[in-house]
Structure 1
Amino acid sequence: MTVTAAPRADEPPVRLGVAFVPTQPPETLRTLATTAEAAGLDELWVWEDCFKQSGVASASAALAWTERIRVGIGLLPAPLRSTAITAMELATLARLFPGRFVPAVGHGVQEWMAQAGVRADSPLTLLREHTEALHSLLAGEEVTTSGRYVRLDGVRLEWPAPDVPIVMGGVGPRSLALAGELGDALILANALTPDDVRAAAETAAAGAQRSGWPAPPVYATLIAATGPDAQARLDAELPQWGAAPGQGVGAAGDARAIADGVLRLAAAGATSVTIQPLADEPDLEGFVHMLGREVRPLLADG
Structure 2
Amino acid sequence: MAGVRIGVVLPPFGADAGREVAAAARHAERRGLDSVWTGDHLVAVRPKLDATMVLTAAAAATERIRVGFGVLVLALRPVAWAAKQVATLQHLSGGRVVLGVGVGGDVHGDIGWHAAGVPFAERGPRTDAALEVLPGLVRGEPTVLDDRKVTLEPGAPLPPVLVGGGRAALRRALRFGHGWYPAFTDEAVIADGARRLAERAAELDRPAPEVTAGVVAVLGDVPRERIEAEARSLAGYGMSEDEALRTLLTGGPAAAADRITALAAAGATEVVALCRGDDWFHQVELLAETRRLLTTA
Q: Does the alignment reach a TM-score above 0.5? A: yes
**CA separation of 1:25 and 1:244: change in aligned 2, threshold 3 A:** farther
CA positional deviation for 1:34:
1.2
- Greater helix share, structure number: 2
Amino acid at match of 2:164: G
CA positional deviation for 1:271:
0.6
Contact 1:170/1:179, CA 8 A, preserved across alignment: no
SS of residue in 2 equivalent to 1:157: coil
Contact 1:143/1:152, CA 8 A, preserved across alignment: no
CA positional deviation for 1:120:
4.8
Q: In the alignment, which residue of structure 1 is the partner of 2:179?
A: 185
Q: In the alignment, which residue of structure 2 is the partner of 1:106?
A: 102
Contact 2:254/2:290, CA 8 A, preserved across alignment: yes
- Does residue 48 in structure 1 map to residue 40 in structure 2? yes
Runs of 4+ in 1 over 4 A off after TM superposition: none
Aligned pairs, how many?
Answer: 281
Q: In the alignment, which residue of structure 2 is the partner of 1:19?
A: 9
Distance of 2:179 and 2:147 partners within structure 1: 25
Q: In the alignment, which residue of structure 1 is the partner of 2:270?
A: 272
Distance of 1:104 and 1:161 partners within structure 2: 17
Amino acid at match of 2:208: A
- Does residue 170 in structure 1 map to residue 165 in structure 2? yes
CA positional deviation for 1:163:
4.1
Distance of 1:71 and 1:152 partners within structure 2: 34
SS of residue in 2 equivalent to 1:271: strand
- Does residue 37 in structure 1 map to residue 37 in structure 2? no
Matches within 5 A, 1:146-295: 151=146, 153-173=148-168, 175-188=169-182, 190-242=183-235, 243-247=239-243, 248-278=246-276, 281-292=277-288, 294-295=289-290
Contact 2:59/2:92, CA 8 A, preserved across alignment: no
Tell me the TM-score normalized by structure 2: 0.86
SS of residue in 2 equivalent to 1:49: coil
Amino acid at match of 1:192: T
Q: In the alignment, which residue of structure 2 is the partner of 1:8?
A: none
Q: In the alignment, which residue of structure 2 is the partner of 1:7?
A: none
Runs of 5+ consecutive residues of structure 2 not aligned to the other structure: none
Amino acid at match of 1:46: T
Runs of 5+ consecutive residues of structure 1 not aligned to the other structure: 1-10, 146-150
Distance of 1:77 and 1:207 partners within structure 2: 26
Tell me the TM-score normalized by structure 1: 0.85
**CA separation of 1:35 and 1:266: change in aligned 2, threshold 3 A:** same
SS of residue in 2 equivalent to 1:48: coil
Amino acid at match of 1:295: T
Q: In the alignment, which residue of structure 1 is the partner of 2:136?
A: 136
Distance of 2:24 and 2:141 partners within structure 1: 37
